[in-house]
Chains A and B, each alone.
Chain A
Amino acid sequence: MIWHQFLSLAGSYPLALRGLGMTVVLSLISLVLGTLLGFGLGILRTGGNRLISGVIGAWVDLIRGTPFLVQIFLIFFILPEFGIELDAFTAGIIALTNLAACFICEIVAAGIRSVPTGQVEAALASGLSRWQRMRQVVLPQAMRIVLPPLVGQYVLLIKDSSVVSAIGLTDLTRVGWLVVQRVPNGLLVFFLVGVGYFIVCYPLIMLARRLERRMGAAHGEVQL
């Protein structure tokens, strides 16, 4: 019985690989786009313009205050009413990118705020332009604060990509759901799905921990 199920599971490995591939592609695209957008938004958020900062803050709050599943449904079912036809893949990318951008925006903003004002004033006094100040003085120092939670956020993003299966994308979770209809052994099937995610996420978790520890050590030096 179990052996039979194993054979059947082994037979569906192309589907599993496709699902894993979809999860990785989805996460990777929205991770890159979300990081770029998040940094841009984070810089704008701390830029000093009250209106821009307020609008970004309100948007970030809306996204952080609603479940990701609801956001996906909104994008997938409501954008078509505005004349924007979407396939599930694009809707998933939009939803994940938006989510990542909002969280990364707050991480980046916190990092930028952590840079002492004296540094900015010094850069200002040395006649650096706004862009030079950001690129050469603020961001390099902010990165130390930003990096550990940024990597942590990537892990959350990869995990959240599983929710996109709800609109029918064949990612790793959806594959599990499909396979369990044929091989009714939920423990085994979703254990394997979990292993798939673990392989992708755990190295990133380790990396985040290492970065955090290093940052802690660096802080120690400064305080001494």
Chain B
Amino acid sequence: MLENFSFRTIVEYLPLFGQGLVTTVWLSALSFIGALVVGIVLCAMNLQRGWLFRAPAKAYIDAVRATPLLAQLYFLYFGLPRLGFVLPELVVGIIALSLNSGAYIAEIIRAGILSIPRGQVEASVASGMTYVQRMRLVVLPQAFKVTIPPLLGQAIVLVKDSALLSLISVAELTRAGQLLASDRFMPAEGFLTIAAFYLLLYYCLKGLAALSSRWLGTAGART
């Protein structure tokens, strides 16, 4: 049993955990922004008529979805130096998370845009709107509503996935737990504490998702 469970050690390591938590939050936030950019570009490519843009976007999305993030992370971590890019682990991690999450976000945005009834688009064509007007005034405002809750769900996934960066020794939250576990041989203290921190982040994002779906009136959207 855990009769030697030491709260004192946890308190002693709190600054380290705090730093880890902060790193996890900002690297996740940066990666999420990167993922949004990647996702929007992929989605725009995917919605084109011609295959020239569509085929590479589809191939990329399938390749990312059919392989584990950890393998992608190692691919970049061991592969980028080979191409002459020697980057800090943290940057490699943010790139990997952005590229990975971007593929999922592209599909979320696409589903949002495709969820707009065809009749609406036809009606706006009939009213003589240009493509940009159609997108800006009719399609995107509605797609935005449908897209926000699953995007927040993807943000939750991204925060959890960021734990893998500890395996390329980025000093984030999980790494802080590992350090306590290995320095003091106290795995219970280390890993239970970071689990609690991740749960905190999870419930924050989950609450945000619930609030947003109430604001946007998309009740029942689950993340």
- Which chain A residues have a beta carbon within 8 Å of chain B's beta carbons? 61-62, 64-71, 73-74, 77-78, 81-83, 110, 155, 158-163, 165-166, 172-173, 176-177, 180, 184-187, 189-191, 193-194, 197-198, 201-202, 205
Q: Is the CB of A70 within 8 A of B74?
A: no
**Quick one: which of B70, B79, B198 contacts A173, CB cutoff 8 A?**
B70
Query: Does B77 touch A at the CB level, under 8 Å?
Result: yes
Closest 6 CB pairs of A and B: A186-B78, A65-B202, A67-B163, A77-B187, A190-B75, A162-B68
Question: Can you list 29 residue pairs at the A/B interface with Cβ under 8 Å?
Answer: A62-B199, A64-B202, A65-B206, A66-B198, A66-B199, A67-B161, A67-B163, A69-B163, A69-B164, A69-B167, A73-B187, A74-B191, A77-B187, A78-B191, A158-B68, A162-B70, A163-B70, A163-B164, A173-B74, A176-B74, A186-B77, A187-B79, A190-B72, A190-B79, A194-B63, A194-B71, A194-B75, A197-B67, A201-B67
B interface: dominant SS? helix
* Closest residue on chain A to residue B80 by CB atoms: A186
Q: Which residues of A contact B80 (CB under 8 A)?
A: 186
Q: Return A174 CB to nearest CB of chain B, in Å.
A: 10
Q: Return A206 CB to nearest CB of chain B, in Å.
A: 9
Q: Is the CB of B195 within 8 A of A74?
A: yes
Q: Return B115 CB to nearest CB of chain A, in Å.
A: 12
A interface: dominant SS? helix
Q: Chain B 150-192, CB within 8 Å of chain A: the 1/0 string? A: 0000000000111110110000001001100100000110011
**Quick one: which of A184, A187, A205 contacts B62, CB cutoff 8 A?**
A205
Q: Which residues of A contact B67 (CB under 8 A)?
A: 159, 193-194, 197-198, 201
Q: Which residues of B contact A110 (CB under 8 A)?
A: 222
* Closest residue on chain B to residue A64 by CB atoms: B202
Q: Is the CB of B83 within 8 A of A77?
A: no
- Which chain B residues have a beta carbon within 8 Å of chain A's beta carbons? 1-2, 62-63, 65-72, 74-75, 77-83, 160-164, 166-167, 174, 177-178, 181, 187-188, 191-192, 194-195, 198-199, 202-203, 206, 222
Q: Tell me the total A-B contact number using a CB cutoff of 8 A.
A: 137
Q: Which residues of B contact A190 (CB under 8 A)?
A: 71-72, 74-75, 78-79
Q: Is the CB of B66 within 8 A of A197?
A: yes
Q: Which residues of B contact A193 (CB under 8 A)?
A: 67, 71, 74-75
Q: Is the CB of A194 within 8 A of B78?
A: no
Q: Is the CB of A186 within 8 A of B74?
A: yes
- If A73-B191, A180-B74, A194-B75 touch, whether A186 touches B1 (CB-CB below 8 Å) is no
A69 to B165, CA, bound (A): 10
Q: Which residues of B contact A82 (CB under 8 A)?
A: 1-2
A222 to B202, CA, bound (A): 37
